[in-house]
Chains A and B, each alone.
Chain A
Amino acid sequence: MINVIQKALYTRSIKSTNMARQESRAAYLFLIPAFLGLAFITYLPLASVFGLSLFKWNALTPPVFNGFNNYISLFTKDPYFLDSIKATVYFSVIAVVGSLVYSLAVAMLLNRRIPARGFWRAVFYVPYVLPGAAVYMGWSFLYETNFGLFNYVLSQLGIHKVLFLSDSSNVVPSLALISVWLSGNLIVIFLAGLQNVPRVYMEAAEIDGANAWHRFIHVTLPCMSPIILYNILMSLVTNMQIVVPALTLTNGGPGNSSMFMTYLMYRYAFQSNQLGYACAISFVFFVLIAIFTIILFATSKTWTFYEGGDDRK
């Protein structure tokens, strides 16, 4: 109680002193890089993307004002756009859920008393440091219908060959699997989080007679919830921007099943030379990600639990 009053008095007195101004000045100075970046790399270009999306522009002739027609065309006439939203969302959901389950499971296994834990951790982390284009190329070889490793194993087990990348219903799960394989960085973060679940809680729960499953649900998960939130966020942002497999492997096919939004935008901008239209796609994509993020943050208040109290400074 007294602390609060003291703090309040202290803050008020600070505000009007020279110190405050000095502090502000230092802050603005240090933040110059951020200011430049936010202005010229982020927000001004974002505004111009929206602005451009209102024009018809093929980069070779001056832009022609088109109002919202680009957006209307996108949602009504375009043969790819609606499928592309579906593909992107479908892929992101599977990839994010898959990555989280996989990394959490592996982290929990690694958390036990096993020898050479550092070595195993390194093994699972390695895919993350490999260049994406190379990874997809390598996996495409594994997925090959007639001579790939997976189909060979399946055929030995007597199962029908699976058309991994050639069948429109299998492409997205196959690509999502690669994304899950690549999510080694999440394992490390989860592991650290697991090791920070206070032993006090775990022991208390044990004494109370909670079995492993209960301990997991009621102690581990809540304590890890901020980290889970962070990982979901990282995974979501990464996976929604997926473009490399479409660029190097599938070209959006078969059908439109891998026509991810980023790839579609790239095609319209750089292959069909319709820059205004492509900017419209970018902007819709931006709005989509924003919606997902807001929903995530809004709902997170109900299920995340901060050990050290709310850090609202």
Chain B
Amino acid sequence: MERTRKILVILLCALMILGVAGCGATGTQGGAPSQSTASSQEATPASTQEATPAQSSGEKVNITYACWGTIEENKAVQDALDKFNASQDKTKVELKLIPWEGYVASLNTMAAANNLPDTANMQEPMVMDWVKQGMLADISDMYAGSDSKPLDCITYKADGKPVAYGVAAETVVMYYNKSMFDKAGVAYPPSTLDKAWTWDEFVANAKKLTLDKNGKHPDEAGFDAQNITQYGCLVENLAWQLEWPILSNGGGFYSADGSKVTIGDPAATEAIQKVADLYLKDHVAPLSIGSTDDGVQRGLIAGTVAMTTNGTWNVGTCLNTAKEQGLNYGIAVLPKMKQSATLATAGTNVVFNQSKHQKEAIEWIKWYANIDNGWPLISAGIWPPIFENYYTDETLTHKWLDNPNFPPYADYKAAAVDPMLDKNYVHSASWFYVNHAADFNNLLTSILGDVWSGKATAQDVITKNLDKFNAIFNGTAN
């Protein structure tokens, strides 16, 4: 009798001990205010972490830097952080990894709880909206006094004035599997802009590279569209990447000055339909519903697709490792419809106004923006440099590209370096100059669902929803 009672009491005590142990293991530092940015675990009995910027006691300031990335990316970022921490004594930066899928959501949650990191690499769709809401510290003079200007195409602008700078100059290019081309006896796609394939040439070549299980091509009799074993191409149709075919067709999501929504124009709907028809009519591409941007991994690297279009970051994030495992790939310029066009994009490093250590945070970002310090990511092939002189000065270009991580110098230079200076070719992705880009792109993704599977045409769904696009653009959506 008494025993059961004793057991219960012991259980309750164990529970409480576990609870306390759990508390200890999670390492909350003394007290409530520690929800702020000073998050270093190994800090000593430290409520003095809360020190305001007026701290000259020589105690180290801890700040956090948040970003997303694949394993390779994170390694390179950690290298940069370690370098910064080792180079001076005042500030220690800690890396906070947040997955790409939940990145926007995480930052928003943290902002609501006043819990943001000091600095972060911000995803493109968020930047303009956060600028408008005054969440970001002003760092537009970041490059004053450096020996080169950042490229214009990756500068975030509000009312024509720069408010933030991209951390890299990513563009959309085409990658292809050289072994598949060799096997099919097809000439490689051109890497120089003036020789770019037209869309029809692109489709024709893709057909030569598409095989069903009996080895037939799409234009041959008896082709079995249900049993394709190799596809000729995969045009990544994530919403923001859809803009390059539209630009190539002479249109755009918005007018060039960002004042009107032009996605309902024939140029745009036609271009989207052509991309969809790669699967529906030409049978050269696998079905893709535009919800992920891993076209390179699931297409090219998996060995099921001969050509795919995607961003230049793939060189460092996945193609390099694939190359070591036997993939023989090449880089080329995008095909064109009426004119050649590509998109430029980049996340940006920001300092949040909520940060309690803005001075130190800005210093860290400035240090990171210095090209030599961000070099690990550049030489890994993940971040093309943003300074103009790396594109105009050949010695600098060599410094950047003469490196086994990259495809052959001539190809990469022709496809991704020289065209960067061509303002008619390189267009900033829409989120560099309009607000609510994220909502716009989400709506586009959502309504195009049936277009990819062939149940509706692009023109139908876009025209039907045009007023919703306009409402989002004007900020009157809800």
Known: A79-B446, A145-B286. A270 touches B291 (CB 8 A): no
A70 CA to B478 CA, complexed, in Å = 7
Known: A77-B477, A146-B228, A161-B226. A255 touches B450 (CB 8 A): yes
Interface of chain B: mostly helix, strand, loop or mixed = helix
**Which bracket fits the contact residues of A?**
35 or more
State whether A168 touches B449 (Cβ < 8 A). Answer: yes
A140 CA to B261 CA, complexed, in Å = 36
Is A193 on the interface with B (CB-CB < 8 A)? no
Q: Which of A204-222 contact B (CB under 8 A)?
A: none
Is B322 on the interface with A (CB-CB < 8 A)? no
By beta carbon, the residue of chain B nearest A270 is: B105
Contact of B289 among A73, A253, A273, A277 (CB under 8 A): A253
- Closest Cβ of chain A to B284, distance in Å, is 13
State whether B445 touches A272 (Cβ < 8 A). Answer: no
A255 CA to B477 CA, complexed, in Å = 19
Q: Which residues of B contact A59 (CB under 8 A)?
A: 108, 111-112
State whether A79 touches B465 (Cβ < 8 A). Answer: yes
Q: Which residues of A contact B111 (CB under 8 A)?
A: 59-60, 273
State whether A163 touches B287 (Cβ < 8 A). Answer: yes
State whether B112 touches A73 (Cβ < 8 A). Answer: no
A270 CA to B107 CA, complexed, in Å = 8
Most buried by B among A146, A155, A252, A267: A146
State whether A61 touches B226 (Cβ < 8 A). Answer: no
Is A307 on the interface with B (CB-CB < 8 A)? no
Is A259 on the interface with B (CB-CB < 8 A)? yes
Q: Which residues of B contact A275 (CB under 8 A)?
A: 112
- Closest Cβ of chain A to B379, distance in Å, is 33
Is B148 on the interface with A (CB-CB < 8 A)? no
Is A51 on the interface with B (CB-CB < 8 A)? no
Q: Which residues of A contact B108 (CB under 8 A)?
A: 59, 269-271, 273
Most buried by B among A77, A163, A255, A277: A255
Known: A266-B105, A271-B105. A251 touches B449 (CB 8 A): no
- Closest Cβ of chain A to B181, distance in Å, is 21
Is B443 on the interface with A (CB-CB < 8 A)? yes
State whether A79 touches B453 (Cβ < 8 A). Answer: no
State whether A250 touches B291 (Cβ < 8 A). Answer: yes
A160 CA to B227 CA, complexed, in Å = 10
Known: A166-B289, A166-B453. A255 touches B447 (CB 8 A): yes
Q: Which of B201-243 contact A (CB under 8 A)?
A: 226-228
- Closest Cβ of chain A to B66, distance in Å, is 15
Q: Which residues of B contact A251 (CB under 8 A)?
A: 291, 445
Contact with B along A53-65 (1 / 0, CB 8 A): 0000011110000
Known: A60-B111, A79-B443, A259-B446. A163 touches B453 (CB 8 A): yes
Q: Which of B102-134 contact A (CB under 8 A)?
A: 104-106, 108-109, 111-112, 129, 133
Q: Which residues of B contact A160 (CB under 8 A)?
A: 226
- Closest Cβ of chain B to A207, distance in Å, is 48
State whether A79 touches B468 (Cβ < 8 A). Answer: yes
Is B364 on the interface with A (CB-CB < 8 A)? no
Is B13 on the interface with A (CB-CB < 8 A)? no
Known: A77-B477, A79-B446. A254 touches B453 (CB 8 A): yes
Is B399 on the interface with A (CB-CB < 8 A)? no
Is A256 on the interface with B (CB-CB < 8 A)? yes
A241 CA to B443 CA, complexed, in Å = 23
Is A139 on the interface with B (CB-CB < 8 A)? no
A272 CA to B477 CA, complexed, in Å = 12
Q: Which of B238-287 contact A (CB under 8 A)?
A: 286-287
By beta carbon, the residue of chain A nearest B112 is: A59
A142 CA to B76 CA, complexed, in Å = 34
A269 CA to B107 CA, complexed, in Å = 12
Q: Which residues of B contact A254 (CB under 8 A)?
A: 289, 291, 449-450, 452-453
Is A119 on the interface with B (CB-CB < 8 A)? no
Is B11 on the interface with A (CB-CB < 8 A)? no
Q: Which residues of A contact B290 (CB under 8 A)?
A: 253
- Closest Cβ of chain A to B347, distance in Å, is 16
Is A80 on the interface with B (CB-CB < 8 A)? yes
Is A103 on the interface with B (CB-CB < 8 A)? no
State whether B104 touches A253 (Cβ < 8 A). Answer: no
Is A10 on the interface with B (CB-CB < 8 A)? no
Is B455 on the interface with A (CB-CB < 8 A)? yes
Contact of B478 among A73, A145, A147 (CB under 8 A): A73
State whether A155 touches B449 (Cβ < 8 A). Answer: no
Known: A60-B111, A272-B439. A167 touches B453 (CB 8 A): yes
State whether B446 touches A168 (Cβ < 8 A). Answer: no
By beta carbon, the residue of chain A nearest B107 is: A270
Q: Which of B424-478 contact A (CB under 8 A)?
A: 438-439, 442-443, 445-447, 449-450, 452-453, 455, 465, 468, 471, 477-478
A160 CA to B453 CA, complexed, in Å = 14
Q: Which of A187-207 contact B (CB under 8 A)?
A: none
Contact with B along A223-267 (1 / 0, CB 8 A): 000000000000000000000000110111111110100000011
- Closest Cβ of chain A to B43, distance in Å, is 28
By beta carbon, the residue of chain A nearest B472 is: A79
Q: Which residues of B contact A146 (CB under 8 A)?
A: 228, 286-287, 304
Contact with B along A91-112 (1 / 0, CB 8 A): 0000000000000000000000
15 sample A-B contacts, Cβ–Cβ < 8 Å, listed by A number? A59-B108, A74-B478, A79-B443, A79-B446, A166-B289, A166-B452, A167-B453, A247-B101, A253-B291, A254-B289, A254-B450, A254-B453, A259-B446, A270-B108, A272-B438
List 7 tightest A-B contacts by C-beta distance, closest first: A254-B449, A255-B449, A59-B112, A270-B105, A73-B478, A167-B453, A271-B104
